[in-house]
Amino acid sequence: MSDATNSQKKKKFSRRDFLKSSASAGLGMALTGTVLKGASLTKGKEEKKKAGNLNIAIIGTGVQGRILIESCLRIPGIRITAICDIWEYSQRYASRYLKKYGFTVNIYEDYRDLLSKEKNLDAVIIATPDWMHAEQTNSCLEAGLHVYCEKEMSNSLDKARTMVNTSRRASKLLQIGHQRRSNPRYIHAINRLVHEKNLLGRVSQAYAQWNRAKSDMIGWPKKYTIEQSKLEKYGYASMTHFRNWRWFKKYGGGPIVDLGSHQIDLFSWVFGVNPSSVIASGGIDYYKNREWYDNVMAVYEFKTKKGIARALYQVQSTTKHGGFYETFMGENGSIVISEVLQRGNWAWREAHAPEWDSLVKEGYLQSETQPIPKVKTKNIFVDVRVTAEAGRWPLPVELAKPAHQPHLENFFNAIIFGTPLNCPGEVGYECAVAVLKVNEAIKSRRLLKLRPEQFKA
């Protein structure tokens, strides 16, 4: 999910801002963006790095590939020189869009041709369906390129592991596209408030959901139908499978992987440990002709330093009720947060908890808004609810750029300046284990125990 359509302030953005914006998410950080028109390049890789210019290619220019292109165009020094996609429709869409911003790109159908012909690349962004990630990532890393690969790393844990190992062997960076890891609001909420300030006290519960209204299979403009022989050459059984790959086991992991992985990733970040077990229920309850579970509910257990914690996650694809957001619940309060601001960005304080006024003064929280009035009523249930929460404190950090831009900046900074990645392959792999195990738990209809060594690639 992206808020790439948000209106952006088109301000000048210096290299210092570029570095600062992704390296941290400090209080009051300046968050601005700009759309870059055709950057000038110096020759030679080393010189380019010194100048902060990077040549990159995008493999997979479908919906997400185009969102990432849009963010790249806002980052000074990033020059897209080539794109690759097996579908002419996606090639044309992306190349025309890039042309509008002064980039004439080389276009490839097969990523192997791109790798053999493009000799001046520094990095590649991969946004193809999940099942292609490992093969393409491994080839790009082995060709000496840094890789930003979209989540889910892979629909197979064996394949996901090869990605981490290839990146180590090739000594090239591998960033996985869990963009919340670089979102300053999430960094503030989890690193600053939950961990550093212990705002919520002991956090024992988390809840997250991503509910979507029912939807038909995705179609395609008929004049861009791919010939059957070409579909088969690239491993797709039909145009329906090619367009709706998420729902089929060969190519993807279903809604729990597609949507859940963004949010389940946050659980281990908040609890500081990977889950020790998962139990889940799900099924193909509603749709016909789809292979993955359309509705899933999963419960994880975590053995945290402070004791046992549990997280409940649900993804529903037949109701939009409540949309998508995450809640972290502690003895002293809760944080409700979402990638889309309107769906959550505040903390609730339990009535008995210590005051948060000093944190407002220090800038960790904004002033309390919407205090809940103490209503005198005979209705015991209302009383209980009223006394449970003392008010609502908005979080002071907002993201004023498209949601994926800070994560891309973090990747480019790591290449240019050697700063740490926010979601290296190892972290992406841990999330892949937690998420893909849900499908296994549903199938086996039992609780799966998860050992710490299972999360190591």
Ligand X SMILES: NC(=O)c1ccc[n+]([C@@H]2O[C@H](COP(=O)([O-])OP(=O)(O)OC[C@H]3O[C@@H](n4cnc5c(N)ncnc54)[C@H](O)[C@@H]3O)[C@@H](O)[C@H]2O)c1
Structural tokens at position 335: 């944080």
Closer CB to ligand X, 166 or 204, in the complex:
166
Closer CB to ligand X, 261 or 327, in the complex:
261
Closest approach of ligand X to the CB of residue 121, in Å: 16
Query: Which residues are at the interface with ligand X (CB under 6 A)?
Result: 1-2, 59-65, 84-87, 90, 111, 127-130, 132, 150-152, 177, 179, 234, 258
Closer CB to ligand X, 390 or 434, in the complex:
434
Task: Return the residue nearest ligand X (CB atom).
Answer: 62
Closest approach of ligand X to the CB of residue 78, in Å: 18
Closer CB to ligand X, 61 or 211, in the complex:
61
Closest approach of ligand X to the CB of residue 408, in Å: 11
Closest approach of ligand X to the CB of residue 343, in Å: 15
Please name the amino acid found at residue 418.
G
Q: How far apart are CA 137 and CA 432, in angstroms?
A: 16
Closest approach of ligand X to the CB of residue 441, in Å: 21
Closer CB to ligand X, 256 or 299, in the complex:
256
Q: How far apart are CA 412 and CA 51, in angstroms?
A: 13
Closer CB to ligand X, 65 or 77, in the complex:
65
Closest approach of ligand X to the CB of residue 296, in Å: 16
Closest approach of ligand X to the CB of residue 156, in Å: 13
Closer CB to ligand X, 52 or 255, in the complex:
255
Closer CB to ligand X, 332 or 338, in the complex:
338
Measuring CA to CA, which residue among 124, 111, 139 is closest to residue 80? Answer: 124
- With tokens 């296994």, the residue in question is 440
Closest approach of ligand X to the CB of residue 414, in Å: 18
Closer CB to ligand X, 86 or 163, in the complex:
86
Closest approach of ligand X to the CB of residue 324, in Å: 11
Closest approach of ligand X to the CB of residue 257, in Å: 8
Closer CB to ligand X, 17 or 258, in the complex:
258
Closer CB to ligand X, 299 or 432, in the complex:
432
Measuring CA to CA, which residue among 435, 433, 410 is closest to residue 423? Answer: 410
Structural tokens at position 239: 């145009």
Closer CB to ligand X, 1 or 353, in the complex:
1
Closest approach of ligand X to the CB of residue 11, in Å: 25
Closest approach of ligand X to the CB of residue 137, in Å: 11
Angle CA 345–349–350, to nearest 5: 140
Q: How far apart are CA 356 and CA 121, in angstroms?
A: 50
Q: Tell me whether the omega of the peptide bond preceding residue 426 falls within 30 degrees of 0, making it cis.
A: no
Measuring CA to CA, which residue among 231, 216, 238, 218 is closest to residue 88? Answer: 231
